[in-house]
Structure 1
């Protein structure tokens, strides 16, 4: 078959969860399934093709809700996808997230042997994600999806994680989240930074030209095209420890908030240091038309305003000339809160499990998600600071530090502990709707 390389996105065949921004507020759930009977698994795929929301559906019959389906490599194998086809998928995907733990910094407390069962083991075959504006509508979305797996005894639900997003759009550490996302050519969805050129479609969706002019499509074409790779991670956040560290490292409340901003690169309101370097600006932080419109290289190359090692500058160096072309490592990131919030002012851990369900979406697991995790989150060679790690999500062990450029003397925060612990995760493939039908029609 001749490979199609035109660049007009086939939005009617792409799952909506790939490209669409999420509503605010919203509720979500992740349900994992194990396939014990191949025929039932294939029937699940056939039914799912009728339930999953396409990117062309700006409004589903249930309102601003949608359902997505993704599969692990073990899941594709359980459906009977031939090995010669599996061999055309990214090798990181074929290995699985648990096998890539050292590269990702999932060591010590975050190592796979400590992960929440069944995350990271071969029993996880299918990930169903449902999303809606509130819990009541979420349950309706799940009811809408239930016919896809109802009365299929060979398909077993083995894990569920309910999540939510607050009207404030903040995550457990108290920062406004979900601000930065790229535009993708042909999607019709604007990016959050008008100074950033849209990414080639092939950076996010398989089967289209990427920034290097190549086309990645697992075979056969009907299976790979219009799909993408997804990394799901459950990240536990040590909120009380983070608050204590800020308090112990500061000279008072104002300095504490400044340190929080320097560590993140934004004030808690979402206002970027790049646009509001001296004080928080909540109006700016809430303004989607302004809160992400900035670059680094021309105005702040040395990081005196936004430290080079802060979280948002590591995650997206924008126009900085680091590690080649930052655009090659750009991806879609989404975080969804789980667990109860820790009350304001509490500095002692209450024992509750809270954090983010983190999702990466992109066509290149290696040079996008894994590169950013290993080279930008857990190393600092790219900006000349050796092996320093991200101060918030890095795999810190109490021996590293965080440097804030400052005249006449830089400021150094020592002994960074690990604030985020990986509780588990999976590498998945999110097929197009045609691929779901193809999987449903497989024969032995």
Structure 2
């Protein structure tokens, strides 16, 4: 086992691993296939000069950066030896399509319905550019293009443009990106002042994690200071979500209350835990207050924030659940794609809209997959049976949602599937030195 070092080597970690995205922002995902190993390695060499490090806090590019990630098939295409590949997390080696059963990607969300080439061996390299506005994003993409320009053996096979609004809301109308953990040694504060920073090894490979161990793919020159990234394109059926709330509610005020009970927050971002009776937009807009709360003392059984609501499933905080919560914390990023459905429209207009979801962490199995399978698509962890996350769960119309209350709980109608997976992949985010290592590989 590698001995952990005291401080994060920020100059070798891609900025996209630890840095929160700007607000608002625009982003683009580009997927490439490597057809020529020599050209793929040249892409890695060039990318090492394009990617901004987490230690570059005074970059002239400001809040604009590019991240480069590689899939298992990409590492194979670059010529990484099998003995090295076998030291990576097995979920990463299998790929997202092979993990569909565990992730709840069935029915409409099953891999045979995914956008081509997502979920296939043709996804090798994922380049993500992030900037505060479309103009700066275009400039970032121009700089990133230098990494693959005139490399005939590297082919762009997929692209997704996305954005975050100044309101920070996603298509269902909720403020997004509210919660993120603090990472020891990063210098970046977490959003919950009641939560102690997590060990760096939960998110960056080669450092001590919450269990006291380290995990580093080999050789160390490749694995250290890297991380795993999961990206998923999630289509949102906004019209169906609106119709469900409208039909289940007794009136406009009740509709907003139900929306809050399902999510655990009012649409403004104000949590039920801090504002249980009514929305508080000022609280929802305050990053210093809107996420600083716990459950165990004030709301152990979920009369205020239901145990089955989205945010309590995604992060049970101090509530007693199956599994140690700190072992399942994630860095989560989301970006909206597609045009908004006009307000008050209850019928689908046929446009593709949704969320580009990204997870960053060092343990894809006990972080992303555990949360997705055990907390989002099951309810054993909080003492119920069969119920799934009301917002993103893989529903089939057979189960509803229960709002705990006295003297009689409120049972909502069966839930349709509001979110459909359009594709995605497990990726490895190499450190900057590792990008150069990949570029210098020889047969």
- TM tier, smaller: over 0.9
List per-residue Cα deviations over 1:158-208 (Å, max 9, x = no partner).
Answer: 110000000000000000000000000000000000000000000000000
Give 1:319 deviation, angstroms.
0.5
Q: Is the 1:62–1:140 contact (alpha carbons within 8 Å) kept by the matching residues of 2? A: no
2:363 is matched with 364
Give 1:260 deviation, angstroms.
0.1
Q: Is the 1:7–1:209 contact (alpha carbons within 8 Å) kept by the matching residues of 2? A: no
2:82 is matched with 83
1:29 is matched with 28
Task: Classify the secondary structure of the residue corresponding to 1:390.
Answer: coil
Matched, 1:142 2:106: no
CA distance in 1, matches of 2:15, 2:275: 35
CA distance in 2, matches of 1:342, 1:3: 51
1:92-111 alignment, distance < 5 Å: 92-111=91-110
Give 1:3 deviation, angstroms.
2.8
Give 1:59 deviation, angstroms.
4.1
CA distance in 1, matches of 2:391, 2:27: 24
CA distance in 2, matches of 1:382, 1:137: 44
Q: Is the 1:60–1:66 contact (alpha carbons within 8 Å) kept by the matching residues of 2? A: no
TM-score normalised by L of structure 1: 0.99
Give 1:61 deviation, angstroms.
2.5
CA distance in 2, matches of 1:326, 1:137: 38
Give 1:4 deviation, angstroms.
4.0
Q: Is the 1:59–1:65 contact (alpha carbons within 8 Å) kept by the matching residues of 2? A: no
Give 1:63 deviation, angstroms.
2.9
CA distance in 2, matches of 1:63, 1:299: 41
Matched, 1:123 2:119: no
2:411 is matched with 412
1:9 is matched with 8
CA distance in 1, matches of 2:142, 2:58: 17
CA distance in 1, matches of 2:145, 2:210: 39
1:48 is matched with 47
1:196-275 alignment, distance < 5 Å: 196-275=195-274
Give 1:223 deviation, angstroms.
0.4
1:348 is matched with 347
1:177 is matched with 176
RMSD between superposed Cα atoms in Å? 0.7
Give 1:64 deviation, angstroms.
1.6
1:311 is matched with 310
CA distance in 2, matches of 1:64, 1:202: 25
2:322 is matched with 323
Q: Is the 2:2–2:214 contact (alpha carbons within 8 Å) kept by the matching residues of 1? A: no
Give 1:72 deviation, angstroms.
0.3
Matched, 1:383 2:382: yes
1:156 is matched with 155
Give 1:390 deviation, angstroms.
0.1
List per-residue Cα deviations over 1:246-269 (Å, max 9, x = no partner).
Answer: 000000000000000000000000
1:421 is matched with 420
CA distance in 2, matches of 1:26, 1:416: 32
CA distance in 1, matches of 2:323, 2:122: 38
CA distance in 2, matches of 1:59, 1:394: 41
CA distance in 2, matches of 1:105, 1:359: 17
Matched, 1:60 2:63: no
CA distance in 1, matches of 2:346, 2:136: 35
